[in-house]
Amino acid sequence: MDGVSLEKLRPNHLPEPVGLWPPAIGWWLLAGFVILALAGLGIYVYRRWKKTRYRSRALQLADDAFGQYQQHQDPRKLAQQCNELLKRVALHAFPNTRVAGLTGAEWSEFLATTGGLPQFHNHSAFTNDRYNPNAQLSVDDIYELTRRWIKKHHA
């Protein structure tokens, strides 16, 4: 046999392994989608934080008012401070409504409706009864309702 002998043949060799770079088009599309989704999520979170950051500041002010109450021990003054704070928050959250002119039962009705808290209905601390020296005002009730409305109101 005059052909090539088997000893002179090269052994089988495997091709080079497939590399990870550059990735296929599907991976590029997936990476682009993930980047867009993360950017969209970041924008959403930032806008939501910016829109509701007034709540955390208002909660700090409510805590400050309660701290001041512990110094002066005057529930009427606390009720006045909490009403002023709630009015400021309401003016910020509801700029297109007539919040500034609400007083008495209308004010407590507004707080009950927008906060989903029926405890505000005719509550003596949030109506004009807070000016009555004989009115019984619960300090813990005033403070907790103020904080709950700040957290829960629907703007």
pLDDT tens for each residue of 57-93: 999 999 999 999 999 999 999 999 999 999 999 999 9
Residue 63, SS3 per DSSP: helix
Whether 75 is covered by a domain: the verdict is yes
Whether 4 is covered by a domain: the verdict is no
Whether 13 is covered by a domain: the verdict is no
Whether 123 is covered by a domain: the verdict is yes
In terms of Cβ atoms closer than 10 Å to its own Cβ (0-12, 13-18, 19+), residue 58 is buried
Q: Hey, what are 10's tokens?
A: 């090269």
Whether 25 is covered by a domain: the verdict is no
- Mean predicted confidence (pLDDT) in 119-136: 83
Count of domains observed in the chain:
1
Whether 114 is covered by a domain: the verdict is yes
pTM for the full predicted model: 0.73
Quick check: 3 pLDDT over 80? no
In terms of Cβ atoms closer than 10 Å to its own Cβ (0-12, 13-18, 19+), residue 108 is buried
HSE-CB for 35 with a 13 A CA cutoff:
6
**Among 66, 83, 69, 77, which Cα is nearest to 123's?**
83
Residue 130, SS3 per DSSP: helix
pLDDT in tens, 22-67: 888 999 999 999 999 999 999 999 999 998 899 999 999 999 999 9
**Which residues form the domain of 84?**
55-152
Report the helix count and the strand count for the chain, using DSSP H and E: 4, 0
Cα(124)–Cα(79) distance, rounded to whole angstroms?
Answer: 9
N-to-C CA span, the chain: 96
